[in-house]
Amino acid sequence: MSIEIIGIENFPIIKEGDNLSEIIYDTLLKNGIKIVDNDVLVLAETVVSKAEGNIIKVDDVIPSEEALEMSGKSGKDPRQCQIILDNTKSVIRCQKDLIITETPHGFVCANSGIDNSNCEEGFVTPLPVNPDKSAQNIKCFLDDKFGCDCKIIISDTHGRAWRVGAIGVAVGISGMSPVTDFRGCVDLYGQELMSTIEGTADELASAAGLLMGQSDSGICLVLIRGYDSSLTSCDVNGACIDEIIRDEEMDAFR
């Protein structure tokens, strides 16, 4: 068994209003790639937000009293604090150089996932408003063009509670469940697995992150070929990223 991880090169700079699905299709063909059944495409969330016009000019933001207070605690620009608050369901922690929030999607992450990397200077991108829907639209388009059943993951980079270092995680999905439930299966010794649920979409997003990089690599689209999706495959809207979010009452870090 083997898996290929292929960075898609020469992806153009995305602007508001661009037809992202068409651009992905054209770029794949320019790279000599035709999508086949069970191929997984991992796409950086910043690209999606830009195409959908979810981009903010920092100088246009007027900070509120709450943002000024958050700025005083964290040391961050009060305008950026306001953007974080505008894209936050709740603030989990605010201290020097650190703001942890829950986004409207339910993700617990730094700065509500607000990203100023790979943006023009003075602009930031929040996470896509509905990343599952964005993934569904891309899957429908590519399935039709290539006559296949592909899987789409929209990824972001998040830190982790137990470990140093950020990794790629899934924030939107289509065509597969974000988790693989092994409960009820047996291990090599015949013992029944009682609690094993694998974060498959996050593993795939993290694998893609090895090629995407975190700086000027320019790779925002990665193809993963050879992954066995038999346990996770579903139709275009048969799964949602909510499945991978831990219930608050089970979250020991709240």
Kindly report, residue by residue over 177-186, the tens digit of the pLDDT: 999 887 777 7
Mean pLDDT (the chain) is 92
Question: Percentage of the chain surpassing pLDDT 90?
Answer: 78
CATH superfamily, region 56-123: CofE-like domain (3.90.1660.10)
């929040």: which residue's tokens? Answer: 126
The domains of the chain are located at 4-52+128-248, 56-123
Q: Tens digit of pLDDT for each residue in 190-224?
A: 787 777 789 999 999 999 999 986 555 679 999 99
User: Dihedral sign, CA of 97, 106, 40, 195?
Assistant: positive
Query: What is the percentage of the chain residues whose pLDDT exceeds 70?
Result: 97
Predicted confidence (pLDDT) per residue in 100-126, tens digit: 999 999 999 999 999 887 788 889 999
Q: Does the predicted TM-score (pTM) go above 0.85?
A: yes
Over 80: is that where the pLDDT of 23 sits?
yes
CATH topology of domain 4-52+128-248: 60s Ribosomal Protein L30; Chain: A; (3.30.1330)
Q: CB within 8 A of 224, min separation 6: which ones? A: 3, 4, 5, 6, 39, 40, 41, 42, 204, 207, 208
pLDDT score of 217:
61
Q: What is the pLDDT of residues 136-182, one digit of tens each?
A: 999 999 999 999 999 999 999 998 888 999 999 999 999 999 998 87
* Res 40 pLDDT > 90: yes
